[in-house]
Structure 1
Amino acid sequence: MPVSEPTALELRDALRRREITATELAESALARVEERPDLGAFVSVNAELALADAARADVRIHTTAPHDLPPLIGLPTAHKDLIDVRGFVTTHGSRAMPHRLAQADDPIATAVRAAGAITIGKTQVPEFGIAGYSENAVAPPAANPFDTSLTAGGSSGGTAAAVAARLIPAAIGSDAGGSIRIPAAACGLVGLKPGRGVVPADRLRGATDPAGAPTMGVSGPIARTARDAALFLDAILGGRGEPTLAAVNRAEELRGLRVGVSLASPFEEWIEIGFSAEAHAAVAAATTALEAAGHHVEAAAIHYEPQYPEAFTTVWTAGLGRINFAPGAEALLGDLARMFLERARRTSPEALGAAVEGLRSFAASASRQWAQYDVVLTPALATLPPALGAFTARGPEGDYRLQCQWAPQTSMVNVAGHPAATAPTHWTATGLPMGVQLIGRPGSEAQLLQLAEQLMDPLPARTASGGRAFTSRD
């Protein structure tokens, strides 16, 4: 059977029926990675380790009853080059850090391994994961599969490019300020940021960071379909059965939600935020689809506290100040990381404490306003993806401003700790995806993926290789 087009769920089921082997899937994935160096999706691969893991998976599949198999057994996947995966080198996207072979898995890699997936490599990220695009001095940038002159987003940009280009069926990314949702939206995928503390592996970080701010980073799926995202989410949740997948399979039953549409951004007090015609088209398409599905959609009057830009940036950059760099290593930092590090070192403990309190106040206010609705709908991104190099060409300050203008409504969800998902709802005449973000109430991850299933353009005729097959619906 062909292995480039089936979904992760279809491949999982074919593996369990023994119609295809994990070794065949791993070999195919490795070959496709080798065929697409233009994407810059992977920083490294380890074919020997991947094929050995696949061979062990094949033995297990052939000696175990299907209902006793792990949920992702035999599916090829990848991890961001920010986390340790046993047998793979971790670079953190930085020349300023030693590139060491990991001897053990980070907690989320442990969860993915326990679910049976086969890691074939590490994917491209920005330096230390601090940007909404995936370019660094370690490896080529992650390019958008629909137009390789454009960014794939970040910080899970390499992962999103790999999934959209069908190099791997799906993967788990991480999101501390939009790092799942930004690249998923840029690459026409479903991306889910679970709520704070939902994923067991993430709970090991605690509810607050070392400065006392709410922990912003979580792990979640990036996939081509809502069902595939549900499959991977259930796998890392580790519970019995697959309740999220079951819910998405019944997505047509979900009706009657109150959906508030908002273009408000907490960054608009600092910089001008403008949404393109494509972003408006994505929101309009989502509104039409949601109303057709039986939901009530209305404009939401949401106003964000003005201290957010300064407070968020102070807390966001503080983490770099906690890294112990080797002598001389700081000279190897990229411009953005160096600017953030200098800011972190200039920030007094009192100023950091005030920023933490500012974020807590913001989170409480935002949560109260969002609670008026079952779901808050926003554009996923303000514009189409910028060109590769567009961020860094502006210098570090302009780089950061452009990131906040391009993704002006993602980081606030991390601060509040709510779940959020992105889904493509509109395609431009040149074949580029645009989508929307759905912000849910705590515990609504399954509902968000049900809505993504209701929203997504169902036509699979679009290719992720720079071209597009048009249909009568265009």
Structure 2
Amino acid sequence: MAEPHELTALEQWQALQRGELSPSELTEHYLARIEARDATLGAFVTVTASRSRARARQVERSVPRTAPLWGLPFADKDLQLRAGVPARFGSRLMQDFIPEESDDLVIALDEAGGVSLGKTNTPEFGLPSYTEGLAGPPARNPWDLRLGAGGSSGGAAVAVSARLLPFAPGSDGGGSVRIPAAVCGLVGVKPSRGRVPAASGIDKLGGLSVAGPLARTVADAALLLDAMITPRGNHPDHHFTLRAPGDDGPLLAHAMHGEGRFQLGVMTTSAWDNDYDIDLAPEAVAALETAREELDVLGHGIDDIALDPDPSYVPAFRTIWQAGAASIPAEGEAQEQLLDPLTRWLMHRGRALTARELAEALAALSTFERSFIRQLSRFDAVLTPALALTPRPVGWYDAEDGERNFAQQVQYTPFTSMVNVSGLPAIVLPVAQTADGLPMGVQLIGRPGGEAPLFALGAQLERRFRWQDRVPPEPGSAVNDAEW
């Protein structure tokens, strides 16, 4: 019989339902893997072994087996609050913070029957798209420990890719689910704004940040996202929730069946092109062409699309990103010195903004949102590269120069933030590998509330490429035993 971690999350859930595994057995299995492997990976910042065992027993005793995540382990991103568990936000400033109450998303996943094993690594306050802050060790790519894991859900991606978790929730304000998913060879989903009741994005600055799943398979991602969405947008406690247009029922069905023929666009332009030189690596182009060719063989209509230039996007997004750091709870020089240099730069820039500048930026992004949705509206989904470059080495980003750091993030990840600004859904799929065996992915952007076609298309490509069968080398193997 296969080891539990060799099964997909859906297969593990089915084994739990049949009684072949218990929540306690599955929890112990993953706790042992974390203890044995995570010291070199940096996926977790907190492991709650005793709490997790107690939670597994509670699930066995008192949670109905019909709960959508019954007995399945996961871990909270360390931007989420779980009562009684440290919430450090990737920052030395927050090392002693232990919340008394849990966030809505944490509560929702508990109500779904999941078992949290701890907290996954994230960069400081989730601001950059890589997970290499001063508060602890970096999250390292399981495919090559010399490489970073992306961010800000970097620890979550490492844990799932290395089979330390069946799947994991993340948050995505500019690509923070999709970037690490692409880097680590996973499926990553950013839902439509308003789709997930407990983390809708509607109450966030610019409506950017929503919660989404990271998983090895399309069906696993749908399983977790369905649990996040339950009870389907009608929960009276969640007034920041929209019912998606043309609601097509549980997304797992679309991920399982993978049916339909769609009209697709292919796009290599981005909202950053006016201000930054965006050069696609050959590997990124090859992954895009691989997906395009397969989608053509499958009978989908395919046409090219290029975005209309919008010179207002870059200054407006920079303003919102900086404004998001203005409220970091650092007062005085002593506390500021606990922050990473990039965070200090962002915080000072954000605090210097005027109300007029913020209002103008929000208005510009709202205009961009309408234009972006209109330009993509003739397609059921639009295909782009997931990343412009291959996975970057740990330490590649400039830690001291905020402007250069920002440019590096843009040039690596130009295709993600415009999806957050527009509120559209998107899925990243690990369709290809480089000559060195590193993951390379593509992104599919859907219509408002159009997650169902994305899962159907993802399932069709997954049947062809079987990326779930690709396994990164174990720590200590020849590949991962190099100097790093």
Instruction: State the TM-score, normalizing by the size of structure 2.
Output: 0.91
* Structure 2 unaligned blocks of 5 or more: 233-247, 480-484
Aligned twin of 1:244: 251
Taking the TM superposition and a 5 Å limit, the aligned residue runs for 1:63-462 are 64=64, 66=65, 69-203=66-200, 206-207=202-203, 209=205, 214-239=206-231, 243-251=250-258, 253-255=259-261, 257-327=262-332, 328-393=334-399, 395-456=401-462, 457-462=465-470
Aligned twin of 2:29: 28
- Using the TM superposition, give the Cα deviation of residue 177 of structure 1 relative to its aligned residue in structure 2, in angstroms: 0.3
Letter in 1 for 2:36: E
Cα distance, 1:325–1:394 mapped onto 2, change above 3 Å: closer
SS at match of 1:104: coil
- Using the TM superposition, give the Cα deviation of residue 293 of structure 1 relative to its aligned residue in structure 2, in angstroms: 1.9
| 1:164-223 residue CA offsets vs partner (Å, 9 max, x unmatched) | 0100000111000000000001011110000101111124x64553xxxx3111011110
- Using the TM superposition, give the Cα deviation of residue 330 of structure 1 relative to its aligned residue in structure 2, in angstroms: 1.2
Query: Are the counterparts in 2 of residues 175 and 217 from structure 1 also a CA contact under 8 Å?
Result: yes
Cα distance, 1:459–1:405 mapped onto 2, change above 3 Å: closer
Letter in 2 for 1:245: L
Aligned twin of 1:464: 472
Aligned twin of 1:472: none
- Using the TM superposition, give the Cα deviation of residue 348 of structure 1 relative to its aligned residue in structure 2, in angstroms: 1.6
Cα distance, 1:51–1:208 mapped onto 2, change above 3 Å: closer
Aligned twin of 2:243: none
Instruction: State the TM-score, normalizing by the size of structure 1.
Output: 0.93
Query: Are the counterparts in 1 of residues 341 and 399 from structure 2 also a CA contact under 8 Å?
Result: no
SS at match of 1:30: helix
Letter in 1 for 2:56: A
Query: Are the counterparts in 2 of residues 304 and 362 from structure 1 also a CA contact under 8 Å?
Result: no
- Using the TM superposition, give the Cα deviation of residue 393 of structure 1 relative to its aligned residue in structure 2, in angstroms: 4.8
Query: Are the counterparts in 2 of residues 77 and 117 from structure 1 also a CA contact under 8 Å?
Result: yes
Q: For the residues of structure 2 that align with 1:208 and 1:13, how far apart are their CA atoms? A: 36
SS at match of 2:174: coil
Q: For the residues of structure 2 that align with 1:335 and 1:120, how far apart are their CA atoms? A: 31
Query: Are the counterparts in 1 of residues 431 and 467 from structure 2 also a CA contact under 8 Å?
Result: no
Letter in 2 for 1:161: V
Q: For the residues of structure 1 that align with 2:350 and 2:98, how far apart are their CA atoms? A: 29
- Using the TM superposition, give the Cα deviation of residue 461 of structure 1 relative to its aligned residue in structure 2, in angstroms: 4.1
Query: Are the counterparts in 2 of residues 199 and 219 from structure 1 also a CA contact under 8 Å?
Result: yes
Q: For the residues of structure 2 that align with 1:386 and 1:363, how far apart are their CA atoms? A: 30
- Using the TM superposition, give the Cα deviation of residue 326 of structure 1 relative to its aligned residue in structure 2, in angstroms: 4.2
* Pairs aligned (count): 457
- Comparing 303-312 with 159-168, greater Cα deviation is found at 303-312
Query: Are the counterparts in 1 of residues 186 and 215 from structure 2 also a CA contact under 8 Å?
Result: yes
Query: Are the counterparts in 2 of residues 278 and 383 from structure 1 also a CA contact under 8 Å?
Result: yes
Sequence identity (%) = 44
Q: For the residues of structure 2 that align with 1:207 and 1:52, how far apart are their CA atoms? A: 34
| 1:20-65 residue CA offsets vs partner (Å, 9 max, x unmatched) | 111111111111111121110000101000000011122247xx5x
Query: Are the counterparts in 1 of residues 171 and 211 from structure 2 also a CA contact under 8 Å?
Result: yes
Q: For the residues of structure 2 that align with 1:338 and 1:458, how far apart are their CA atoms? A: 43
Letter in 2 for 1:87: G
Query: Are the counterparts in 1 of residues 260 and 456 from structure 2 also a CA contact under 8 Å?
Result: yes
Aligned twin of 1:8: 9
SS at match of 1:254: coil
Q: For the residues of structure 1 that align with 2:401 and 2:41, how far apart are their CA atoms? A: 24
Q: For the residues of structure 1 that align with 2:143 and 2:329, how far apart are their CA atoms? A: 39
Q: For the residues of structure 2 that align with 1:431 and 1:344, how far apart are their CA atoms? A: 40
Query: Are the counterparts in 2 of residues 289 and 454 from structure 1 also a CA contact under 8 Å?
Result: no
Aligned twin of 2:482: none
- Using the TM superposition, give the Cα deviation of residue 122 of structure 1 relative to its aligned residue in structure 2, in angstroms: 0.4
41, 54, 57: which is aligned to 1:55? Answer: 57
| 1:399-436 residue CA offsets vs partner (Å, 9 max, x unmatched) | 11111110001001100100011001111222111010
Query: Are the counterparts in 1 of residues 189 and 427 from structure 2 also a CA contact under 8 Å?
Result: yes
Aligned twin of 2:237: none
- Using the TM superposition, give the Cα deviation of residue 78 of structure 1 relative to its aligned residue in structure 2, in angstroms: 0.5
Query: Are the counterparts in 2 of residues 431 and 462 from structure 1 also a CA contact under 8 Å?
Result: no
SS at match of 1:409: coil
Query: Are the counterparts in 2 of residues 194 and 220 from structure 1 also a CA contact under 8 Å?
Result: yes
* Structure 1 unaligned blocks of 5 or more: 470-474
Letter in 2 for 1:234: D
Superposed CA RMSD in Å reads 1.8
Query: Are the counterparts in 2 of residues 261 and 297 from structure 1 also a CA contact under 8 Å?
Result: yes
- Using the TM superposition, give the Cα deviation of residue 444 of structure 1 relative to its aligned residue in structure 2, in angstroms: 1.0
SS at match of 1:310: helix
Q: For the residues of structure 1 that align with 2:123 and 2:356, how far apart are their CA atoms? A: 29
Query: Are the counterparts in 1 of residues 271 and 307 from structure 2 also a CA contact under 8 Å?
Result: no
Q: For the residues of structure 1 that align with 2:101 and 2:19, how far apart are their CA atoms? A: 31
Cα distance, 1:9–1:89 mapped onto 2, change above 3 Å: same
